[in-house]
Amino acid sequence: MQIKSAEFIMSNSDVAKCPATRIPEYAFIGRSNVGKSSLINMLMQRKNLAKTSGRPGKTQLINHFLINKNWHLVDLPGYGYARVSKSSKKVFQKFITDYFLKREQLVCAFVLIDCRHEPQPIDLQFMEWLGEQQVPFSIIFTKADKLKPKALERNVDTYKSKLLESWEELPNYFITSSSNSTGREEVLQYIDEINAGFNYS
């Protein structure tokens, strides 16, 4: 896929106010500091499409970008837990759950995972939640350039083994690096293939 145009459309925290168009949507989400803004900028080949920050958790809104006039890239805040006082049950932020439960235009979520770290409970629980809600998702391992090839392979294998403890089959996954564009073609081709079969009516 060639990126011919990438334009910011809107930011908000209310799913009801998201764009009313019927074009397919791809949401990018992960914990704070996973390299989401850098990845989005690398995929789009734009320096400042998504705002990067040394301060984790800068994205606090649902940000829509129109790509090639025919699909939306959605930059979502990092997920964290909110405690519900009555039962002290932990849930993800309301507008994140609202987005995934109510946004009919969403065709795939990309869950970003820092490949340098061992599997984190919050990431595993978030993917489990997506599975329970039947939200299609793929994993994007970020910061692949920070590890030597053998260590990268070992870490990804560890993650796959952990996922297979609770998943019958592994989710689709990509290995990326924002600094050298590793994985860019693969992610964009995957989006292209889904878009090709999309009915816009």
Q: How many domains does the chain have?
A: 1
pTM of the predicted model, to two decimals?
0.91
Residue with tokens 């932020």: 93
pLDDT of residue 79: 81
Residue-wise pLDDT for 92-110, tens only, equals 778 888 999 999 999 999 9
Banded model confidence at residue 24, pLDDT cuts 50, 70, 90: very high
- On the question of pLDDT at 43 being above 70, the answer is yes
What value does the mean pLDDT of the chain take?
89
> Which residues touch 168 (CB under 8 Å, ≥6 apart)?
none
DSSP designation for 121: H
Q: Kindly state whether residue 201 falls inside one of the protein's structural domains.
A: no
Residue-wise pLDDT for 132-190, tens only, equals 999 999 999 999 999 999 999 999 999 999 999 999 999 999 999 999 999 999 999 99
Instruction: Tell me which residue range forms the domain holding 110.
Output: 6-196
Question: What H or E segment, with its residue span, contains residue 130?
Answer: helix 121-132
Which CATH number is 45's domain given? 3.40.50.300
Give which of 195, 180, 17 is closest to 99, Cα–Cα: 17
Question: What H or E segment, with its residue span, contains residue 8?
Answer: strand 6-12
CA-based diameter of the chain, in Å? 50
Banded model confidence at residue 38, pLDDT cuts 50, 70, 90: very high
pLDDT of residue 91: 65
Q: Which value, in Å, is the radius of gyration of the alpha carbons in the chain?
A: 16
pLDDT of residue 117: 95
Residue-wise pLDDT for 183-198, tens only, equals 999 999 999 999 998 7
